[in-house]
């Protein structure tokens, strides 16, 4: 019987939530890395026992963690699990935590500044890894989206990292600026049909695409309108919160922007709004049903000044028409006095026959639906604030 494993990153550690295919009874493991901010935990599609985690701290910086046994044990890549880390042999090199921007003239056009909050130019400064995206085919290859925004790749299981500098170097970098959460590269989507194509998104710069496996990039923001930049239709500067697609249709993208839910049918070359009847088109998460490419989910948030759900009601909205027509999903979710937020990486879907949907809140609840959103139950209610939710569907 199939199983699912939900990987939850929180402000104070990581938690792994496991269940069989019925998704009724859950085993909770954690906190792992207690006390640290865990921005993201994600498993390798090529090897479900391989899981990567981004462990970060304002005090101590960035640490990459890896498990090769489905989350039972963890180690920093470069240190085999179980080996004494103080041994002269087999010590970690410390390189797995090292994210250094590429400043070489050969591999990009090195940038030294981006736009800061006050409009002045500011140097790039590495802060943390927001998102880890393992390769679909190789457990040792993975991407990391970082703050200040850049894309890194490891091809040795996270032991060492190298920037794909063509993204920062393509020319628009001086117009990128941080959103309230920092200038983060938070979305990385690999086209499973075309390994040379990758989409990424940055707050607040916008969405970008490569068609040559990361060497060169171009902005794909035509059709976006953002009133918080001098030219609302500028090439870059848009605060894209998240982007999702269905693997079977990699040219169809869905975007939750700061305000506006958007859709592209041509790989991001142009976008149109599909907010329709949503009570608010502000939000962070967006995701696509595992088996229905036109069924998408968002969690509307009241506004950019009030980061909680409207009217005290936690409602997931589902569209079965690829946008514009939305229905509230409320069964099992609090419908009064609820003021939580759901952050951009905090929703995921499993691939069981009856598609499971999962999301985590700033109040520490992780909700699950085993019927595509028709009804919800909390797996846990009292975790630290949830930063990210991913799910693995296991044989």
Partner 1 sequence: MIRVILPPHLRTLAHVSGEVLLDVEGQATQRSVLDALEGSYPMLRGTIRDHVTQERRPFLRFFACSEDLSHEPPDTPLPDAVVSGDEPLLVIGAIAGG
Write down the least CB distance from residue 109 to partner 1, Å: 20
60 touching partner 1, by CB under 8 A: yes
123 touching partner 1, by CB under 8 A: no
Cβ-based neighbours of 307, under 8 Å, separated by 6 or more: 301, 341, 362
291 touching partner 1, by CB under 8 A: no
Write down the least CB distance from residue 95 to partner 1, Å: 8
91 touching partner 1, by CB under 8 A: yes
35 touching partner 1, by CB under 8 A: yes
Does residue 336 contact residue 288 with C-beta atoms inside 8 Å? no
57 touching partner 1, by CB under 8 A: yes
58 touching partner 1, by CB under 8 A: yes
Write down the least CB distance from residue 31 to partner 1, Å: 12
Report the residue number, 41 or 278, with the smaller CB distance to partner 1.
41
Write down the least CB distance from residue 29 to partner 1, Å: 17
Beta-bridged to residue 187, according to DSSP, are 201
How many H helices and E strands in the chain?
0, 29
110 touching partner 1, by CB under 8 A: no
Span of 86-94, 127-135, 221-229, 271-279 interacting with partner 1 by CB under 8 A: 86-94
Virtual torsion, Cα 8, 350, 373, 309, nearest 10 deg? 30
Report the residue number, 153 or 258, with the smaller CB distance to partner 1.
153
Report the residue number, 98 or 225, with the smaller CB distance to partner 1.
98
Write down the least CB distance from residue 66 to partner 1, Å: 12
Handedness of CA 64, 75, 384, 5 (dihedral sign): positive
Report the residue number, 97 or 154, with the smaller CB distance to partner 1.
97
**Lookup: tokens for 29:** 């493991």
56 touching partner 1, by CB under 8 A: no
- Residue 22 to residue 311: CA distance in whole angstroms: 32
90 touching partner 1, by CB under 8 A: no
Beta-bridged to residue 54, according to DSSP, are 40, 64
Span of 21-29, 39-47, 57-65, 175-183 interacting with partner 1 by CB under 8 A: 57-65
61 touching partner 1, by CB under 8 A: yes
Virtual torsion, Cα 202, 204, 207, 212, nearest 10 deg? -50
113 touching partner 1, by CB under 8 A: no
DSSP 75: B
User: Residues 298 to 317: which contact partner 1 by CB under 8 A?
Assistant: none
Report the residue number, 90 or 232, with the smaller CB distance to partner 1.
90
Beta-bridged to residue 381, according to DSSP, are none
Report the residue number, 57 or 112, with the smaller CB distance to partner 1.
57
Span of 39-47, 56-64, 205-213, 298-306 interacting with partner 1 by CB under 8 A: 56-64
Write down the least CB distance from residue 108 to partner 1, Å: 17
Closest CA relative to residue 179, chosen from 208, 210, 201, 199? 201
**Given 10, 18, 44, 62, the residue binding partner 1 (CB under 8 A):** 62
Does residue 16 contact residue 6 with C-beta atoms inside 8 Å? yes
Structural Rg of the chain based on CA atoms: 20
Closest CA relative to residue 76, chosen from 56, 101, 95? 95
**Given 19, 76, 280, 295, the residue binding partner 1 (CB under 8 A):** 76
Does residue 124 contact residue 111 with C-beta atoms inside 8 Å? yes
Report the residue number, 160 or 324, with the smaller CB distance to partner 1.
160
Q: What residue has token string 């909205």?
A: 317
81 touching partner 1, by CB under 8 A: no
**How far, in whole angstroms, is CA 3 from its chain's centroid?**
23
Beta-bridged to residue 161, according to DSSP, are none
- Residue 395 to residue 390: CA distance in whole angstroms: 17
Residues near partner 1 (CB under 8 A): 35-36, 57-63, 76, 79, 84-86, 91-94, 97-100
């Amino acid at each position: 019987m199939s199983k699912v494993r939900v990987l939850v990153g929180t402000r104070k550690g990581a938690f792994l939530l496991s269940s069989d295919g019925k998704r009724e009874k859950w085993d909770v493991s954690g906190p792992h890395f207690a006390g640290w901010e865990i921005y993201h935990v994600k498993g390798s599609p090529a090897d479900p026992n391989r899981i990567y985690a981004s462990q970060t701290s304002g005090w101590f910086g960035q640490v990459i963690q890896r498990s090769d046994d489905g989350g039972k044990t963890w180690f920093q890549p470069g240190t085999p699990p179980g080996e004494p880390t103080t041994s002269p042999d087999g010590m970690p090199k410390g390189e797995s935590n090292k994210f250094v921007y590429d400043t070489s003239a050969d591999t990009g056009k090195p940038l030294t500044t981006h736009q800061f909050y006050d409009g002045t130019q500011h140097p790039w400064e590495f802060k943390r890894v927001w998102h880890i995206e393992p390769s679909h085919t190789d457990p040792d290859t993975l991407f990391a989206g970082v703050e200040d925004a850049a894309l890194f790749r490891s091809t040795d299981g996270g032991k060492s990292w190298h920037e794909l500098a063509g993204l920062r170097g393509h020319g628009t970098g001086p117009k990128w600026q941080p959103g309230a959460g920092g200038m983060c590269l938070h979305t990385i989507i690999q086209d499973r049909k075309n390994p040379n194509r990758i989409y990424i998104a940055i707050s607040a710069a916008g969405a970008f695409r490569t068609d040559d496996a990361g060497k060169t990039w171009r902005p794909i923001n035509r059709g976006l309108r953002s009133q918080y930049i001098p030219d609302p239709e500028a090439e870059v500067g848009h605060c894209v919160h998240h982007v999702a697609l269905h693997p079977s249709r990699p040219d169809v993208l869905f975007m939750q922007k700061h305000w506006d839910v958007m859709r592209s049918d041509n790989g991001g070359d142009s976008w149109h709004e599909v907010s329709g009847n949503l009570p608010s088109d502000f939000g962070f998460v967006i995701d696509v049903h595992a088996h229905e490419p036109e069924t998408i989910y968002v969690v509307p948030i009241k506004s950019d000044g009030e980061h909680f759900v409207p009217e005290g009601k936690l409602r997931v909205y589902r569209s079965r028409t690829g946008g514009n027509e939305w229905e509230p999903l409320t069964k099992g979710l609090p419908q009064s006095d609820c003021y939580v937020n759901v952050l951009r990486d905090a929703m995921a879907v499993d691939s069981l026959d009856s598609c499971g949907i999962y999301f985590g809140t700033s109040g520490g609840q992780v909700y699950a639906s085993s019927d595509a959103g028709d009804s919800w139950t909390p797996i846990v209610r009292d975790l630290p604030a949830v930063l990210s939710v991913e799910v693995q569907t296991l044989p």
